[in-house]
């Protein structure tokens, strides 16, 4: 009986170790259904925004870090117009591009929100990761809002904070 129990436990451990963890932050299915075509004749305003993100923060000393889950919120603040996100590029602490999220522009309908998730196990960004977003909006349309919500829970303790993008162009 003990041998069967040990065998079952061993088998479960081996199976759990072989599981490939998929990072939701790089799932291309999220963007293909949002692909937009922008015509050169469309009179759209161009903008560029910077958003700081933290996939890790320091804890107790500079030698110990704590991993975080980051939700990057892309929001259309217009209740009338569709907007277009041309680029969402993720950079690490040293300014090296880690990944971009879509090949073609995507649209956000009026008042629509979509997210990019940086999983807690994805620490490639480090303590000073960031995003650059490029976007187009119709004239007299409110600018999009980009926010970062970082969180983590361990045991009975929770941590969360937000960042807001700054327009740089």
pLDDT digits over 41-88, tens only? Answer: 778 999 999 999 998 888 878 888 888 899 999 999 999 999 999 999
- As a whole number of angstroms, the distance between CA 80 and CA 53 comes to 29
Q: What is the pLDDT of residue 19?
A: 45
Would the pLDDT of 131 be above 90?
yes
Which pLDDT band, with edges at 50, 70 and 90, does 123 fall under? Answer: confident
Torsion of CA 69, 72, 73, 76, to 10 degrees: -170
Q: What is the pLDDT of residue 98?
A: 93
Q: Which residue has the tokens 């941590």?
A: 159
Would the pLDDT of 140 be above 90?
yes
Where are the chain's structural domains? 40-167
Q: What is the pLDDT of residue 15?
A: 54
**pLDDT by residue (tens digit) across 1-57?**
666 655 556 555 555 554 444 555 555 666 778 888 887 777 899 999 999 999 888
Q: What is the pLDDT of residue 63?
A: 84
Q: Please, are residues 76 and 89 in contact by the beta-carbon 8 Å criterion?
A: no
Please tell me the pTM assigned to this model: 0.80
> Hey, which residues does 58 pair with through a beta bridge?
65
C-alpha of 62 from chain center: 25
Q: What is the pLDDT of residue 52?
A: 96
- As a whole number of angstroms, the distance between CA 92 and CA 157 comes to 27
Q: What is the pLDDT of residue 29?
A: 62
Fold of the CATH domain 40-167 = Hypothetical Protein Tm1070; Chain: A (2.60.290)
């Amino acid at each position: 009986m003990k041998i069967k129990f040990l065998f079952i436990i061993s088998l479960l451990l081996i199976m759990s170790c072989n599981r490939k963890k998929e990072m939701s932050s790089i799932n291309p299915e999220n963007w293909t259904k949002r692909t937009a075509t922008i015509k050169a004749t469309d009179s759209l305003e161009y903008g560029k925004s910077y958003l700081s993100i933290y996939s890790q923060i320091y804890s107790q000393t500079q030698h110990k870090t704590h991993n975080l889950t980051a939700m990057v919120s892309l929001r259309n603040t217009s209740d009338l117009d569709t907007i277009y996100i041309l680029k969402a590029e993720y950079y690490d602490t040293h300014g090296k591009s880690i990944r971009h999220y879509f090949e073609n522009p995507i649209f956000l309908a009026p008042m629509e929100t979509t997210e990019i998730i940086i999983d807690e196990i994805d620490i490639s960004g480090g303590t000073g990761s960031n995003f650059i977003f490029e976007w187009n909006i119709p004239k007299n349309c409110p600018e999009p809002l980009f926010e970062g919500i970082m969180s983590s829970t361990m045991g009975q303790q929770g941590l969360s904070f937000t960042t807001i993008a700054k327009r740089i162009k």
